[in-house]
């Protein structure tokens, strides 16, 4: 798990002869430069802590220079420490801290044990509710924000805009050039930086994990990062606050074009499936519903958790967005994002992508291919509904009515007729394929009968 650091200014020499100091190293309930808000409950009063060599050098093998305890005040966490004055490295570190005076800053290395995303002062933040503090260290420089809370950035290097553009072109940075990662140190810095600003943090984590795989450094990825970029709690479940609401971002995956049964796919998902797993199956999650429940999700198109995307399901989903089966069932503002998710899978498979209509109920003559997709979606939806009706009647010891049986048989015969058109050998004096109007008349006749059931 990657150790994180934060730095603050505020040191008081308590006894120079014995090397005793007090140093403020955390301020509670303010937004720091990492986009974090640390709660008072994150620290344990009286917990022992090491004093690391300058700039956290003890992580690289340098001897510790002292030790102390953490004191939790009303608004700040304070180190009460003593340098090892009977050692040369302890004395040198103390004399440096004393000589630096108000310029000296302290940083602490820690692992988060309890945190959740949240919103403070209108900003997306990580709320830290529990940490294990491993060491406190004098450091050279932090990035002050006026609250005495500073952030150590390690060996972070400066990227010019040209560097960022080149990294984005190579796939080593995000599309806007942010989070460029060319080496392992860049990877470490990026991991520490996640959580700032208003960007999609899950998308950033997915980018970082891709770069970690490229650099063969996946061991640096924190244990609580799920495959889809969301955060998991200590039990391996998604964080209490769902990381994604509404449209689920597209993701790279294999694609298949085999037959698709949405009802069977959803039924096959485990009831205890985590939100991070369910998001690998669907394209939308209800922001007002429980993300732990399968019923909160819509537009399934993957064959199970982490399964390949089904191209037929993607086409059917776009048809539903275009109103093929009535109201799409999601907010209008989410239609385009869900469309882009489904369209991305089709593009990955080099398939033509139907247009997204401005209005799901838009009238007028459609392209033949788009109309065929709409019919496919309508038939698939009707078959799912027919299966439910047959099962319900069977529970009551009843079968389908003669009228319904007739309608279903008519639909079947029209679909068989369509199949025969596709299977009829082409003779020399026949056109190379059925005309659009001929195929359209067959499909539309079947649809008309379906809609009248």
Q: What is the pLDDT along the chain (453 residues), one digit of tens a residue?
A: 455 555 444 556 656 678 888 888 888 888 876 678 889 999 999 999 999 998 888 887 889 999 999 999 888 888 899 999 999 999 999 989 888 877 778 888 888 888 888 888 777 788 889 988 999 888 876 432 322 222 222 334 568 888 889 888 888 999 888 899 988 778 877 887 776 555 678 888 889 998 988 887 787 888 778 877 777 655 544 443 444 678 998 888 889 988 888 888 998 988 878 787 888 999 999 988 878 788 899 999 999 988 999 998 898 889 889 887 778 889 988 999 999 999 999 998 888 888 888 776 555 545 666 667 667 777 777 777 777 777 787 888 887 777 677 667 766 766 776 777 666 655 555 544 445 554 555 455 555 544 444
**What backbone phi and psi angles, to 5 degrees, belong to 93?**
-65, -45
- Give the C-alpha separation, 339 to 332, whole Å: 11
The rounded distance, in Å, linking the Cα atoms of 205 and 164 is: 18
Distances (CA, A) of 288 to 3, 63, 101, 330, 334: 35, 52, 52, 12, 14
DSSP conformational letter for 365: P
Three-state DSSP class for 162? helix
Length of the chain measured in residues? 453
Yes or no: say if 258 and 310 are a contact pair by the CB < 8 Å rule: yes
Question: Do 108 and 6 contact (CB within 8 A), yes or no?
Answer: yes
pLDDT at 29: 86
pTM score of the predicted model: 0.39
Task: Give the span between the Cα atoms of 235 and 257, in whole angstroms.
Answer: 36
In angstroms, the CA 391 to CA 382 distance is 14
Identify the CA nearest to 451 among candidates 389, 400, 407.
Answer: 407
Helices marked H in 155-235: 161-169, 184-193, 201-214
């Amino acid at each position: 798990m990657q150790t994180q650091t934060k730095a603050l200014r505020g040191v008081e020499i308590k006894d120079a002869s014995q090397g005793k100091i007090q140093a403020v190293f955390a301020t509670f309930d303010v937004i720091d430069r990492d986009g974090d808000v640390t709660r008072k409950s994150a620290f344990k009063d009286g917990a022992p802590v090491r004093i690391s060599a300058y700039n956290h050098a003890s992580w690289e093998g340098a001897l510790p220079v002292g030790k102390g305890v953490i004191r939790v005040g009303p608004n700040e966490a304070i180190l009460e420490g003593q340098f090892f004055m009977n050692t040369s490295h302890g004395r040198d570190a103390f004399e440096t801290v004393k000589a630096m005076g108000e310029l000296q800053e302290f940083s602490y290395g820690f692992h988060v044990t309890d945190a959740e995303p949240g919103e403070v002062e209108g900003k997306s933040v990580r709320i830290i509710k529990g940490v294990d503090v491993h060491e406190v260290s004098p450091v050279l420089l932090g990035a002050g924000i006026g609250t005495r809370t500073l952030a150590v950035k390690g060996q972070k290097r400066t990227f010019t805009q040209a560097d960022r553009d080149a990294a984005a072109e190579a796939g080593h940075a995000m599309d806007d050039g942010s989070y460029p990662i060319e080496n392992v140190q860049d990877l470490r810095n990026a991991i520490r930086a996640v959580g700032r600003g208003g960007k999609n943090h899950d998308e950033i984590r997915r980018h970082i994990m891709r770069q970690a795989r490229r650099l063969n450094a996946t061991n640096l990825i924190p244990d609580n990062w799920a495959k889809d970029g969301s955060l998991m709690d200590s039990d391996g479940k998604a964080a209490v606050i769902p990381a994604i609401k509404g449209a689920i971002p597209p993701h790279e995956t294999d694609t298949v074009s085999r037959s698709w049964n949405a009802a069977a796919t959803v039924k096959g998902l485990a009831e205890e499936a985590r939100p991070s797993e369910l998001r690998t199956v669907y394209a939308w999650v209800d922001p007002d519903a429980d993300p732990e429940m399968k019923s909160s999700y819509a537009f399934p198109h993957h064959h199970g958790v982490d399964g390949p995307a089904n191209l037929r399901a993607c086409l059917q989903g776009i048809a539903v967005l275009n109103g093929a089966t009535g109201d799409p069932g999601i907010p209008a503002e989410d239609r385009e994002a869900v469309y882009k998710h489904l369209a991305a899978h089709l593009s990955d498979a080099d398939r033509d992508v139907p247009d997204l209509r401005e209005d799901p109920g838009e009238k007028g003559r459609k392209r033949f291919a788009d109309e065929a997709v709409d019919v496919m979606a309508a038939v698939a939806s009707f078959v799912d509904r027919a299966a439910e009706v047959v099962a319900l009647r069977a529970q009551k010891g009843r079968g389908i009515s003669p009228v319904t049986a007739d309608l279903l048989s008519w639909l079947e015969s029209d679909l068989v007729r369509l199949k025969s058109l596709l299977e009829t050998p082409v003779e020399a004096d026949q056109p190379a394929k059925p005309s659009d109007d001929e195929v359209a008349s067959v499909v539309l006749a079947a649809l008309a009968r379906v809609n009248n059931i």
